[in-house]
């Protein structure tokens, strides 16, 4: 055999050997650092093998979350004013961010449930931990004739990630707790 034939034979033998050593495509099982069994598939996907591990790997939806911080809206007092009724309202910011602007609508109702009037009143800026007081004046009706002061609207607030361009209806007031009052019904 010539040197060229021998070299050709060695190259062919090496090629067959390497082909035999090529990894077989198959699924592979391993354990994560926290002990969960994971199946790595040859198509690049993976899944948990243990049902308990799959539950543990999912977000903890069943675990109760702690109460979310909220701003508190209080009616401090109601007072007769010439020609109507006045309310002193306070927004206490218990949120971890500034309430730059919150403009809810206050609806005044008679004891019959009939809406007398609605007004908007702005609060802000209120830094975390601060209190912002505002006066609401309702003219043409006495305090004794008002049975309910309802808070609504406020959808174009500027607080946290919400701003006047947010399309999250009801999210602004969802972050505000209206503290009940024994003088009259004060709620959302």
Q: What is the pLDDT of residue 105?
A: 97
Tell whether domain 71-187 is in CATH 2.60.40.
Answer: yes
Q: What is the pLDDT of residue 79?
A: 96
List the structure tokens of 173. 């007031």
Within 10 angstroms of residue 85's Cβ, the number of other Cβ atoms is: 22
What gap in Å lies between CA 178 and CA 70, rounded to an integer?
10
φ, ψ of residue 160 to 5 degrees: the values are 55, -130
Tens-binned pLDDT, residue by residue, of the chain (188 aa): 666 565 555 565 555 554 555 455 567 676 766 777 777 777 767 777 765 444 555 554 555 667 889 999 999 999 999 999 999 999 999 999 999 999 999 999 998 999 999 999 999 999 999 999 999 999 999 999 999 999 999 888 999 998 888 888 899 999 999 999 988 999 99
Q: What is the pLDDT of residue 53?
A: 47
What gap in Å lies between CA 149 and CA 87, rounded to an integer?
10
- Which helix (H) or strand (E) segment holds residue 15: the answer is helix 3-21
- Which helix (H) or strand (E) segment holds residue 4: the answer is helix 3-21
The conformation of residue 155, written as its DSSP 8-state character, comes to -
Within 10 angstroms of residue 62's Cβ, the number of other Cβ atoms is: 7
Domain residue ranges in the chain = 24-63, 71-187
What gap in Å lies between CA 6 and CA 31, rounded to an integer?
48
Q: What is the pLDDT of residue 118?
A: 96
């Amino acid at each position: 055999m010539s040197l060229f034939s021998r070299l050709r034979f060695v190259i062919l033998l090496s090629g067959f050997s390497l082909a035999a050593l090529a990894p077989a495509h198959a699924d592979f099982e391993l354990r994560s650092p926290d002990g969960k069994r994971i199946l790595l598939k040859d198509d690049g996907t993976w899944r948990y093998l243990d049902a308990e591990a799959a539950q543990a790997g999912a977000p903890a939806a069943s675990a109760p979350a702690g109460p979310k911080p909220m701003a508190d809206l209080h009616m401090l007092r109601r007072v007769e004013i010439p020609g109507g009724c006045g309310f002193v309202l306070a927004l206490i910011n218990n949120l971890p961010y500034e309430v730059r602007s919150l403009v809810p609508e206050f609806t005044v109702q008679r004891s019959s449930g009939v809406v007398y009037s609605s007004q908007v009143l702005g609060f802000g800026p209120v830094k975390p931990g601060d209190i912002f007081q505002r006066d609401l004046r309702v003219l043409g009706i006495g305090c004794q004739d008002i049975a309910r002061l309802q808070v609504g609207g406020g959808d174009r607030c500027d607080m946290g990630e919400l701003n006047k361009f947010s399309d999250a209806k009801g999210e602004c007031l969802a972050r505000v707790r209206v503290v009940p009052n024994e003088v009259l019904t004060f709620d959302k």
